[in-house]
């Protein structure tokens, strides 16, 4: 009998978890597995704010995919997916075509710009390793240029962060630690630097525990961050951003750097391939398959799972993407072995920890609130755990965070 073929698109948290779980569960000749990714490395999306601020080298946030896959069972293909043709069961890559029997779509997310004018042209987003490098280098360029100009442009030293969700806050934490270093490196008076966070909601980290939010705001303000709450970014321009409070109150903030961290949507590949989606995310069935497509699983940030307790979607997180990878691998094994009964995906949310720089954080884990060193320790344990789950102890030794005391 012809061997069946599983194609996994994306080697992020969801895709790589599926591949590494599958390779443990199947025999060498049981099924063909192909893993496709844009780059030959995996990056820790959850560490990109550090590479963007320049507090962690970009090579620390990535590792070779070939180091964690069993090449006897999984073939890695470096390629960029352009579209999926579900009717003909094939994936169209920039580099060619791939037929499949079962497909896993785990291509992550993109920045959500809500159609706001000028953002795509004038703002950066923390979306992958190269984008993170560009943000770091752009900020350094602004600092390096400042003292070499006859007419000093103070706005070069203004950095605006749009959105005070978890990404915005984690980036601000790193930035607030990095700016004093940059000032020393480039002979700049720290008082000239402005870090401004613009948040449309009435609070930072909307929906998160208010006591922890107050702690985060106080810590970041102490390090020089200014929050503009209840204020929405309306437009990005060559010179900075336009913000608004309500309909009439509009203000221009001149800035050398604008980082857009105000939310994500599913990968545009989803809509391009004809899946019915909400902001690029497909509401998957309990077994993680796309409605109407019994041979297609969608996991990670391009999938949408409803939290029945509050009747709202779970926020897209690495925590969920990895757990989906485990269920997806089990369900694929069941299908290739001819079983009809598939496992239902049930998220097991262990908590949320938000870093405020290298040595500070806030969080709720296993029902307990924490701040400062304890929360920061927990964050590093979580980071190391995700390495362990995909690549075992050797990956933790190679890439782990051990500056935990």
- Interface ranges with ligand NAD (CB under 6 A): 116, 162-168, 170, 198-201, 206, 232-233, 261-264, 315-317, 352-354
Q: Out of 6, 31, 106, 200, point to the residue binding ligand FAD (CB under 6 A).
A: 106
Q: Which of ligand FAD, ligand NAD, none sits in contact with 12, Cβ below 5 to 8 A by type?
A: ligand FAD
Residue with the shortest CB distance to ligand NAD: 165
Half-sphere exposure of 117 (CA within 13 A, CB side): 7
Phi-psi map region of 187: left, alpha, beta (phi>0 left; psi -120 to 50 alpha): left
Judged by CB under 6 A, does residue 55 bind ligand FAD?
no
Q: Which of ligand FAD, ligand NAD, none sits in contact with 200, Cβ below 5 to 8 A by type?
A: ligand NAD
End-to-end C-alpha distance for the chain, whole angstroms: 56
Active site residue 170: yes
Contact 310, 301 (CB under 8 A): no
Active-site residue identified among 44, 170, 174, 358: 170
Query: Based on CB atoms, which residue is closest to ligand FAD, 14 or 242?
Result: 14
CA separation, residue 363 to residues 221, 296, 369, 370 (Å): 18, 35, 6, 5
Report the distance separating Cα 98 and Cα 78, nearest Å.
Answer: 12
CA–centroid distance for 53 within its chain: 15
Q: Out of 107, 196, 216, 333, point to the residue binding ligand FAD (CB under 6 A).
A: 107
Report the distance separating Cα 227 and Cα 168, nearest Å.
Answer: 11
* Nearest distance in Å: CB 386, ligand FAD: 8
Site for ligand FAD in 246-285 (CB under 6 A): 267, 269
Query: Based on CB atoms, which residue is closest to ligand NAD, 54 or 363?
Result: 363
Judged by CB under 6 A, does residue 172 bind ligand FAD?
no
Rg of the Cα atoms in the chain: 22
CA separation, residue 159 to residues 19, 193, 226, 260 (Å): 39, 8, 11, 11
- Residues with a catalytic annotation lie at 170
List interacting residues with ligand FAD (CB under 6 A): 10-15, 36-39, 45-46, 48-49, 80-81, 106-108, 126, 167, 170, 267, 269, 300-301, 316-319, 321
């Amino acid at each position: 009998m012809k061997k069946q073929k599983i194609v996994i698109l994306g080697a992020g948290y969801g895709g790589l978890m599926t591949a590494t779980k599958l390779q443990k569960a199947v025999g060498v000749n049981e099924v063909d597995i192909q893993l496709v990714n844009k780059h030959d490395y995996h990056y820790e999306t959850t560490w990109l704010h550090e590479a963007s601020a320049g507090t962690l080298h970009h090579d620390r946030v990535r590792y070779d995919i070939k180091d964690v896959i069993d090449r006897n069972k999984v073939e890695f293909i470096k390629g960029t997916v352009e579209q999926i043709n579900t009717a003909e069961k094939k994936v169209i890559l920039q580099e060619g075509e791939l037929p499949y029997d079962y497909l896993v779509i785990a291509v992550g997310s993109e920045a959500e710009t809500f159609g706001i004018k000028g953002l795509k042209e004038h703002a950066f987003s923390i979306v992958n390793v190269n984008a993170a490098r560009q943000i770091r280098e752009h900020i350094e360029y602004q600092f390096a240029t400042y003292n070499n100009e006859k007419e000093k442009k103070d706005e070069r030293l203004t950095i605006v962060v749009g959105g005070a969700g978890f990404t915005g806050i984690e980036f601000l934490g790193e930035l607030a630690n990095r700016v004093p270093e940059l000032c020393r490196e480039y002979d700049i008076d720290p008082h000239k630097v402005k870090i401004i966070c613009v948040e449309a909601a009435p609070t930072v980290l909307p929906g998160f525990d208010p006591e922890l939010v107050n702690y985060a705001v106080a810590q970041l303000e102490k390090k020089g961050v200014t929050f503009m709450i209840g204020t929405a970014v309306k437009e990005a321009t060559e010179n900075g951003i336009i913000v608004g409070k309500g309909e009439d109150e509009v203000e221009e903030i001149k800035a050398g750097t604008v980082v857009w961290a105000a939310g994500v949507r599913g990968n545009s590949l989803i809509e391009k391939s004809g899946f019915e989606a909400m902001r690029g995310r497909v509401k998957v069935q309990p077994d993680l398959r796309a409605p109407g497509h019994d041979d297609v699983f969608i996991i990670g940030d391009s999938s949408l799972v409803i939290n029945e307790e509050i009747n709202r979607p779970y926020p897209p997180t690495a925590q969920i993407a990895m757990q989906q990878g485990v269920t997806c691998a089990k369900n694929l094994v069941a299908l290739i072995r001819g079983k009809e009964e598939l496992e239902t995906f049930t998220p097991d949310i262990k908590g949320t920890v938000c870093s405020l720089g290298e040595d500070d954080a806030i969080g709720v884990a296993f029902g307990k609130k924490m701040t400062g060193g304890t929360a920061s320790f927990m964050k590093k344990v979580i980071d190391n755990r995700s390495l362990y789950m995909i690549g075992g102890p050797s990956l933790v030794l190679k890439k782990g965070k051990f500056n935990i005391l």
